[in-house]
Structure 1
Amino acid sequence: MTKRQFYRSLSLRMEKGTPSTYDEKTRSVEVVVATEGRVRVYDWNRGVIDEILLMSGLEMPDNRQVPLLDTHSRYSSYSVIGSCRNMAVEKEELVGRAHFSTVQEAESQHTKVREGHLTDFSAGYEILEGGAIWVEDGESAVVDGRSFEGPVRVVSKWRIKELSVCPIGADGKAKARAESPAPQQEERLMDERLRAFLERRGLPKDATEEQAWEYFGRMSDEDQRKGQRSAGANNHTGGSGHQPAQIDPAVAAQNAIEAERKRSAEIQSMCRSHGFDDLAITLVADGSSIEQARKTVMDEILKRQQGDGGYGFRAPVEVGVEEMQKFRAASQDAIMVRAGVPVEQPAPGFDELAGRSLVDLARMSLIRSGRSDAGRPLDVVGRALTTSEFPVILGNTANLSLMSGWDASGETWQIWCDTGSVSNFLTHKQARASETSDLDEIPEGQEYKYGERSEAFEEYAIATYGKLFAITRQAIINDDIGALTDIPFAHGEAAARKVGDIVYAVPIANSVMGDGKALFIAAHNNILTGGVVSETTLNEGYTKMGLQKDIAGKRGLNISPEYFIGPKSIQGSAEIFFNSNQFAADNKGATRTNIYSGNKLTRVYDSRLDDDSTTAWYLAARKGKTVKVFFLDGIQKPYLEQKSGWSVDGVEHKVRIDAGAKAMDWRGLSKNAGA
């Protein structure tokens, strides 16, 4: 079953004043959250049905606390007016204590409950996978050892999500609790959206519930008669003809609800596009038709034009942008938390969305975009992917996961390599100048001479590396969080891995330098005598690097190694040497001081070097004297692009990174083949 939050639609009213369980000091009252009573609810597939919630199948939060909301308004933290705490099952009832917050937004509801005007509470809950059994009319079923007669939905696995203070509750017994409850009387309640539809069709606003249902019945009869007349008009052959199908009240109610939903969505979209958010609330509430709403909006636009001093229309400020950004941030953090990815500072409201499925988020995106959220999950997700809201949420989540993979990759090249920036994919040159010639002694009356400098060049270029992946409609409908997090995370790791491959290919491939010779060659005086890490081999490395000359071959550069770079295979033996303060020069024991112990050299071990040699190791001078990694415009992270899927149903993503690496000088690098 698709995860969806349900509410109830019948109430049992109690004629009672202030509940005697009310506590002024704690601003709380004991409530019945839900019962096992048979209650009428709305089902997305069957319309209005009977439902029974079994307390034996209830799942509660570990802290036994859920938010207390104002009439199931779940899309903003401003609607949270407190919390329901200490929930527990007592026989066939779920009870708890509703605590009202001291914030101003909760004061109105708190006062009305305290004064006895508001007595009804309604539970928002989620039916878990495989947790509901539908019993057909005339049949019976045994659930949890108990027999139930159909038609009814028996829920044996469900999770409480929130509790709301409502003008008219869902479960008859879900009220502020009194010590001695008064007699209860059942009252059949009409869905408020159906009632609004009937009022626009002529039902008086002050009509009772019974009168409303009678009006609905008369309207259904009239629709049926119209159908009969239409059938007669089309049946020119005479005879009895086909009998028109009977109008199912549940179907008519669903059609009315759908019409109301479309009216509300179109009015909200119309008003939001012109910056009239408050007006949208009024027009939806007073039952204005779409044509009436359009006329009202045009009148407001004309008023605003006049207020601008006659200089024409001024585009409204998009006051909804901030809320949209908040919803996006909360949604993407909620998805990351569900996937088990740590989020240091989650966006406000993420906890309200953490229990939502991806289809639920798609529906919420449609509603916020002023579009209908009705229909099958496949249709809902398809429409949501065409909005500006839902694809951004998916893209932001994928990008966060991509960056998490990039950061968690554990690459080692950043430790010892320098970085640079290029603006295009052309081959670039970087000059390497020699030292200036020494200053001459100038005798009295003699002329100064110009010094001489030599230059050499290294050429380098970057390339683009990338891959495609998709987030499909099927993955969203299946609530496959891994498609949004694990796959982008893996591509982030792959991007980081590719840069590392480029870097370590430089010493492994012994790439050609600007002088036309290999990076490591005897002519460059950077090939060391093969051997394991020791005083002798390191002495040779320090000596050869320190004696390197400038380009002109005149000046010693006094370069010193700062990094020891080796394969994983020698890490154990090398670390024993570097962590030993003394070593043995002969068989007399460890008596000589190890001048290379401690942190004299920063050690780097990378498994890519093992693929070339399990013994060879390298010494490298400070950053800038060895290998340099270049990125397009200096962007040292992968880039993620997305578009609506063409070859797949969903959203396609392209991951790319533009990078290249080059050894800028051989003098700061040396290689030992090991032993």
Structure 2
Amino acid sequence: MPESIRTRDLPVQTRSASLLPGTANTEARTVELVWSTGAAVRRRDWATDNPYDEVLSLEPGHVDLSRLSSGAPFLNNHGAWDLSDVIGVVERAWVADGEGRAVVRFSDREEVAPIWNDIASGIIRNVSVGYSVRAYEITDGDVPVWRATDWIPLELSAVPIGADPGAGFRSAEHLHPCQLRHHQEDRPMPETAKPPRDHARIRADESTPLTITGITNANPCVVSTATSHGLASGTQVLIAGVNGMVQLNERTFAITAIDDVSFSLDEEDSTNHGVWTDGGTVTPVPQTQRHATTKEPVSDVTSIVGRAIAAERTRSHGIHDAGTKLGIPRAVSDDLVARGVFLDEARKLMIDAAAHKDAALDTRSVVVTQDEQVIRRSAVEGALLHRFNPSAHPLNDAAREWRGLSLLEMSRAFLDAKGVKTRGMSRDELATRALHAGSDFPIILAGVTNRTLRAAYEAAPRTFMPFCREVTATDFKMISRVQLGEAPTLIKVDESGEITRGTIGEGKESYRIDPYSRIFAVTRQVLINDDLDAFTRVPQLFGDSAARTESNIVWAIFTANQKMADGKGLFHADHKNLAASGTKLGVDAIGKARVAMARQTGVDGTTVLNLRPAFLIVPVSLEMAAEQLIAVNIVPAKTSDVVPNSIRSLQVIAEPRLDDLSIVSWYMAASPAQIDTIEYAYLEGKQGVSLETRMGFDVDGMEIKATLDFGAKAIDSRGFFKDPGAA
């Protein structure tokens, strides 16, 4: 039995394996699997695309278990790009009863736990083995058998979809040499099966080289021989040893016989080849060694491998590209690549998967539209606000259509849109109908009024907000604030001593919110006179008034020295927050006030709170002095005049309402995040001033009511300090 040996570079390959969930050990996180049974698997030759049956021999000496036995990785879907792809390790591998088996231990990492749980419960059952073959024994037949007699398993992987028995190459970018031993049987061909021979064309010894006497530069190329070549058309020949036209050396060609001493090389254009000078032989290729006609040298294995790598890259990229466009999970396309599924077949599988996914989706759409009436209202409102304050309210395209129209002209347009005939109406009739309850115009006027009022309210200065805390009240009942004290001091417990109970001290303050309200009217005279100020400037003044009302209520707590729950004023010697004598505002005076606040004690009277002042509150008469005191750009001439950074960090709040009480008194306040100070409340859902409108009964037009539901109370006196000051 003759044998030919050649070497070819092959990539790492994969084929399916199976987990044995019943062997899972939850404590050790191990499971047993079968990675090979030695069964034949139909594959295709990587270089020629011809089919063959691969058999992985499990005989002693044929399979190398060194990688598996030395702790080969257990991977996630053959991933080998990141350490996170390693989800376990092969603890042990062996061959028994014609099967390759292994025990795999899983990682304790948190992200691996879901995979282990699914394997232990039998949900994930698919495993694939990656291996490399170093030698095949090839036996001819209708489908050749490639028996791996020197191969090594490299890694095991959990995969989402079980690979078919012919799972393909894992990667074509990492190749290794493989020896192919080709066994050929010498079996005489039956006489009846032998093809007829043209004795004029076929020489007795087909393997004897013929000497070349000339080669033409033509298409096709013509070769002349020294003696009769005796070759039939279609015979494959090997050309070698040519001088000059070296492009033909070590290549096989199919020929077309011209006469006894010349033939052409099929599909070979030698027009641009070098000119033949001398030398060269032609050797017929035996039938068992023939390849398809090729323009590449037989010995140029690098070229063959290069084409194979390019084809594999094209397949891999095509599968991943199709998966991305179809919205298929990456794990699915990775598995198709690892299994060696051909590109066309992979595309069909992914299209089917995408169609199945789309069929499960509810493709009903929702179209959101906006009512034309709402759009028109918004446009007119924008035009009126732009007329009131162009810089604050720029025009959009819809509002631009209403620019320049008077209030009556806008009223007429709205009545026309309602189907009301306005032709022949007097100005008074237009105004009356426009303010009717069924018209859109009252809604627009109310919207403009509300926006101008809120803008003015929010812009008005309310200096109390930084050191006070905002809350909401659900009703107008009394609000009780329990003033929780500090936790009791921990007491040392001696050996065998008793642990005693402690209590949390508390105080209590109460207040409620009150309604504050005024009504103003937009009459038909406003529309007739085109008086825009009636529902822009007037509401703006109401907004300022609401903000002033809040400030008056809060600052009255200071100026009236509001009584606390103990019947004493907010600032009182018993509260330890009032200086015994007035001191002019300065570094030393602030230092003493800071000491007094730090020494404040809890409700229990003993626990030191160490409160830190955050705000310096002064009448506007002292605002300049306060700002100069904490200014960071003033360099004192004497060390004693240095202002510490802790004082420079104070925020100055100047309030003119304090001047009515005293122009020299000053105050300090802690942050409301450290201790309760003053709490102010709005009615829930109506933070700040709000508007209500109705058609007037006492006036000929529309009434607008501005309402503020507000209340405030000092909750804890310890967060404040007052110095009566001195001139």
TM-score, length of structure 2 as denominator length: 0.47
- Based on CA coordinates, which of the two structures has the bigger radius of gyration? 2
d(CA) in 2 for partners of 1:566, 1:373: 61
Corresponding residue for residue 465 of structure 1: 516
The one-letter code of the counterpart of 1:662 is K
Of 419, 432, 440 in structure 2, the residue corresponding to residue 382 of structure 1 is 432
1:146-295 residue pairs with structure 2 within 5 A? Answer: none
Corresponding residue for residue 326 of structure 1: 375
d(CA) in 2 for partners of 1:446, 1:590: 54
Corresponding residue for residue 572 of structure 1: 624
1:378-527 residue pairs with structure 2 within 5 A? Answer: 378-386=428-436, 387-527=438-578
Give the 3 Å change call, closer, same or farther, for CA 646–604 of structure 1 in structure 2.
same
What per-residue deviation string (whole Å, max 9, x for no partner) do you get for residues 372-431 of structure 1?
A: 223011101111111241100000000011011102212212222111111111112111
Give the 3 Å change call, closer, same or farther, for CA 433–545 of structure 1 in structure 2.
same
Of 337, 343, 368 in structure 1, the residue corresponding to residue 386 of structure 2 is 337
What per-residue deviation string (whole Å, max 9, x for no partner) do you get for residues 569-592 of structure 1?
A: 1112221222156676xxx75764
Where 1:490 maps in the other structure, the secondary structure is helix
The one-letter code of the counterpart of 1:553 is G
Q: Which moved more, 1:529-538 or 1:400-409?
A: 529-538
d(CA) in 2 for partners of 1:530, 1:341: 51
Corresponding residue for residue 659 of structure 1: 710
- 1:531 matched to 2:583? The reply is yes
1:49-128 residue pairs with structure 2 within 5 A? Answer: none
What per-residue deviation string (whole Å, max 9, x for no partner) do you get for residues 596-650 of structure 1?
A: 5875111111111112221111100002521111111163210101111221111
d(CA) in 2 for partners of 1:341, 1:413: 31
- 1:616 matched to 2:665? The reply is yes
What per-residue deviation string (whole Å, max 9, x for no partner) do you get for residues 29-61 of structure 1?
A: xxxxxxxxxxxxxxxxxxxxxxxxxxxxxxxxx
d(CA) in 1 for partners of 2:440, 2:460: 31
Where 1:628 maps in the other structure, the secondary structure is strand
Q: Is the 8 A contact 2:415 2:439 kept in 1?
A: no
d(CA) in 1 for partners of 2:467, 2:490: 35
d(CA) in 2 for partners of 1:365, 1:511: 54
Where 1:459 maps in the other structure, the secondary structure is strand
Give the 3 Å change call, closer, same or farther, for CA 504–596 of structure 1 in structure 2.
farther
1 or 2, which has the higher helix percentage?
A: 1
The one-letter code of the counterpart of 2:615 is Y
What per-residue deviation string (whole Å, max 9, x for no partner) do you get for residues 329-371 of structure 1?
A: 1111111111125445645411111211000111111122222
- 1:363 matched to 2:412? The reply is yes
- 1:552 matched to 2:607? The reply is no
d(CA) in 2 for partners of 1:412, 1:568: 12
Q: Is the 8 A contact 2:386 2:394 kept in 1?
A: no
- 1:669 matched to 2:723? The reply is no
Give the 3 Å change call, closer, same or farther, for CA 582–379 of structure 1 in structure 2.
closer
d(CA) in 2 for partners of 1:454, 1:511: 23
Where 1:498 maps in the other structure, the secondary structure is helix
> Which segments of structure 1 move beyond 6 Å, counting only runs of 4 or more?
317-321
Matched pairs, number? 356
Where 1:612 maps in the other structure, the secondary structure is coil
Q: Is the 8 A contact 2:433 2:439 kept in 1?
A: no
Corresponding residue for residue 173 of structure 1: none
Q: Is the 8 A contact 1:582 1:594 kept in 2?
A: no
d(CA) in 1 for partners of 2:576, 2:633: 30
% same residue: 32
Please state how far the C-alpha of 1:441 moved relative to its aligned partner.
2.6
Q: Is the 8 A contact 1:581 1:593 kept in 2?
A: no
What per-residue deviation string (whole Å, max 9, x for no partner) do you get for residues 458-498 of structure 1?
A: 01111011111111111111111111200000001100110
Where 2:461 maps in the other structure, the secondary structure is coil
Of 386, 400, 403 in structure 2, the residue corresponding to residue 354 of structure 1 is 403
Give the 3 Å change call, closer, same or farther, for CA 599–372 of structure 1 in structure 2.
farther
Q: Is the 8 A contact 1:365 1:390 kept in 2?
A: yes
Q: Is the 8 A contact 1:462 1:659 kept in 2?
A: yes
Q: Is the 8 A contact 1:579 1:597 kept in 2?
A: no
Please state how far the C-alpha of 1:443 moved relative to its aligned partner.
3.5
TM-score, length of structure 1 as denominator length: 0.50
Q: Is the 8 A contact 2:632 2:648 kept in 1?
A: no
Corresponding residue for residue 700 of structure 2: 649
d(CA) in 2 for partners of 1:665, 1:532: 26
Where 2:660 maps in the other structure, the secondary structure is helix
Please state how far the C-alpha of 1:653 moved relative to its aligned partner.
0.6
Please state how far the C-alpha of 1:319 moved relative to its aligned partner.
11
Please state how far the C-alpha of 1:500 moved relative to its aligned partner.
0.7
What per-residue deviation string (whole Å, max 9, x for no partner) do you get for residues 263-298 of structure 1?
A: xxxxxxxxxxxxxxxxxxxxxxxxxxxxxxxxxxxx
Q: Is the 8 A contact 1:413 1:500 kept in 2?
A: yes
The one-letter code of the counterpart of 2:620 is K
- 1:543 matched to 2:592? The reply is no
Give the 3 Å change call, closer, same or farther, for CA 599–382 of structure 1 in structure 2.
farther
d(CA) in 1 for partners of 2:537, 2:367: 35
Q: Is the 8 A contact 1:422 1:633 kept in 2?
A: yes
Give the 3 Å change call, closer, same or farther, for CA 582–492 of structure 1 in structure 2.
closer
Q: Is the 8 A contact 2:385 2:393 kept in 1?
A: no
Q: Is the 8 A contact 2:382 2:393 kept in 1?
A: no
d(CA) in 2 for partners of 1:490, 1:384: 25
d(CA) in 1 for partners of 2:685, 2:411: 36
Give the 3 Å change call, closer, same or farther, for CA 372–612 of structure 1 in structure 2.
farther
d(CA) in 2 for partners of 1:319, 1:419: 38
Please state how far the C-alpha of 1:318 moved relative to its aligned partner.
14
Give the 3 Å change call, closer, same or farther, for CA 673–368 of structure 1 in structure 2.
same
Q: Is the 8 A contact 2:386 2:393 kept in 1?
A: no
Asked which structure has the greater RCO (Cα within 8 Å, sep 6+), the reply is: 1
Q: Is the 8 A contact 1:565 1:618 kept in 2?
A: yes
d(CA) in 1 for partners of 2:465, 2:526: 36
Where 1:562 maps in the other structure, the secondary structure is strand
Corresponding residue for residue 263 of structure 1: none
The one-letter code of the counterpart of 1:539 is G
d(CA) in 1 for partners of 2:573, 2:697: 56
Where 2:522 maps in the other structure, the secondary structure is strand
Q: Is the 8 A contact 1:413 1:503 kept in 2?
A: yes
1:296-335 residue pairs with structure 2 within 5 A? Answer: 322-335=371-384
Q: Is the 8 A contact 1:417 1:628 kept in 2?
A: yes
Give the 3 Å change call, closer, same or farther, for CA 341–570 of structure 1 in structure 2.
farther
d(CA) in 2 for partners of 1:357, 1:492: 25
The one-letter code of the counterpart of 1:521 is H
